Every structure is written in C-alpha cells, then in structure tokens.
Amino acid sequence: MKKILIAGAGGFIGGHLVSHFLKEKNYNLVCVDIKPIEFWFQSYDNLENYSLDLKDYNNCLKVTKGVEHVFNFACNMGGMGFIENNKAECMLSVLINTNLLRAIVENKCKKYFFSSSACVYNASKQKSTFISGLKETDAYPADPEDGYGWEKIFSERMCRHFTEDFGIETRIARYHNIFGPSGTFDGGREKAPAALCRKIIQAKKKNSKYIDVWGDGEQTRSFLYIDDCIKGTLDVFNHTKHDIFNIGSEEQVSINQMIEIIEEIANFKVKKNYQLDKPKGVRGRSSDNSYVTKKIGWKSKNTLKEGLTKTYKWIEEKINSGSNIDKFCRGR
C-alpha cells in the first residue's frame, strides 16, 4: 500500500482528505498537525498521528521517511480578520513548504501537492464587485494579498523550481474560499460562510434580529463546498505534469446575498449592523474554471445553497448540543 503524508491533517481540508482516504482502505496514512491531537477537527486513533511543527526541518525529515506522496495543507491562516492582522505569522508558513520540499528530496518521495490560494491574484483585477472570474494567468504581474498571498505565491515558485532542479513531481491547486462542516466557526479564524451561519443561528436562539457584517456587505466572492474541493484536489494531484489550477466555484455572490440564502435556510430574518472599519479584503473575487475543466475535466457540483444548508445544519447541531465544540472555536 502507498504511504501518504497529509500535513495539516488536523485542519479543515486536511481532515476531510484523511476521511476520504480512509474510505478507500488501501493507503497507509501519516497525519501531522501543529495542534495537539485532541484539537484536530477530525482524528483517527488507528493512524500514524503526530503533533509537530513542520517549520522545523528535522520534523519534516521524520514524517517524510518512507513516504511516496505528500499533501501539504499546513499553514497559519484563517479568515480575512486573521490574515489582515497576522501577516508575519502567515508568511512564516513558507518555512513549512520549503522544509517539506527539502525533506522530500532527501527522502526520495515521489510526488508533492501544495495547497495555494486565490489570495495570490493581482489586486488590481479585484477592485469592483461581480468581476469576471480570475484565470490562472491573472496572478502576474505579482501583487497578491499582503502577507498570506505573498507566502502562497512564493511557495508556488518554490514548487516549480524543485520540479525543475530536482525532478520532484509537484501539483498546485489555488483554492477559492472552501467551506463546509467539520471546520472552525468561531474564535477568530472562521471564514464568512461559517461565521454568518453561526451569527444567524445565535440570533435565532436569542430571538435577536441584528447580526454584525464586516464592510457594506456588497463585496463579492465565490465559495466552494468541501466535497468538491476534495474531488478537485485529487484530480489535480493525479494530473500528468506540474501545473497550477483554480479549484473554486464560479457562482459569485455578495455577502448580503449569502446572508439572504442563510436566512432562507434558517427560516429567520435578520437586520444587518454594517461594520465599515473591519477587514474586508478585495472588493470582488471569483474563479474562472475554464482551464481546469479543459485540462482535467473537473467541475464543481454543489450549489452554494446546497453547501450552506449542510454547513448550517452541522453548526446548529454543534451549538445546540455543546458537545465537543471547543476545537471548532479556538483561535489556533
């Protein structure tokens, strides 16, 4: 059986990929995350689990030994509120990618997947709402999101040069706002879909009509459900050569429109308290999937409402039960 390392296995996307591979039942999995294992979003006792800091090269050497394939989701990140206020911390994640690539060369691993982000895209192309979808070529000339985006675009180049110089097979996906169950929904690192579901659930429980909304609510994004992300990740990984692909939805909505969808799911109307001094990010961002569809045939399947319905129900269940909730509401 192939031995696979999943870095960031205690996080949102990494945890879902672990769950996917367990259903396949023909892989030996090595799971690593900086968090204590009891705070992993999804964890399984029968696997080779490590709580380690992969910014340390020796830790990277340890966990890549005997491994054929590496998936790297490990990074210090969160929603806009986190990445706007923790730029240095976000950029230090470059050490994870760098040291994993060095260890892969040393331990002769065969293939490496790097999870990049739509935050690499040139800011000048994202100044208005409901923009045309961003193509993979729109990352250059480089002017990414400060901090987090620069780390991602530098790490993309590192992958390219390790392929050129050392023959390591590398694959890269640029994720566009992935959401779904079994992820953080409070504590400062949550992203808009989970945050807004939580706010409306809590408002409904308290019969309070008001929720806080960062900015004027007119900023636009596309959001991709986690099941589509996992399928896209595997399709990119199984592609025949080094390349970079968008993995996102082309269904672009404003934050106000997303709130309306969640109101319908909740059967509860709210009033919005717009906080114009809060971090808002770029004015508009969405994915153009024409290249990934042409090259590897991947398309997203879940609509935003379908994904939000599943996410809302999962968060509501967690809040109402109060069971095992702390790990989804931490600042780290």
Give the tokens for residue 27.
Answer: 């892989």
- The closest of 236, 251, 256 to 133, measured between CA atoms, is 251
Closest to 285 in 3D by CA, of 225, 222, 216, 193: 222
Question: CA-CA distance, 134 to 118, in Å (whole number)?
Answer: 9
Residues 179, 194 contacting (CB under 8 angstroms): yes
Per DSSP, what are the bridge partners of residue 222? 252
| Burial zone of 323 (CB within 10 Å; 0-12 exposed, 13-18 middle, 19+ buried) | exposed
- Specify whether 225 is catalytic: no
If you write DSSP's letter for every residue of 239-268 in order, what string do you get? SSS--EEEE--S-EEEHHHHHHHHHHHHT-
User: Starting from the edge strand earliest in sequence, which strands make up the sheet with 27-33, in order?
Assistant: 48-51, 27-33, 2-7, 69-72, 111-117, 169-175, 244-247
Give the list of residues 6+ apart from residue 130 with CB closer than 8 angstroms, or none: 220, 252, 254, 284, 286
d(CA 108, CA 196): 44
Enumerate residues 6+ apart whose C-beta is below 8 A from 121: 134, 138, 139, 144, 149, 285
β partners of residue 273: 212
Catalytic residue among 121, 148, 225, 312: 148
Query: Could you give the residue numbers annotated as active site?
Result: 148
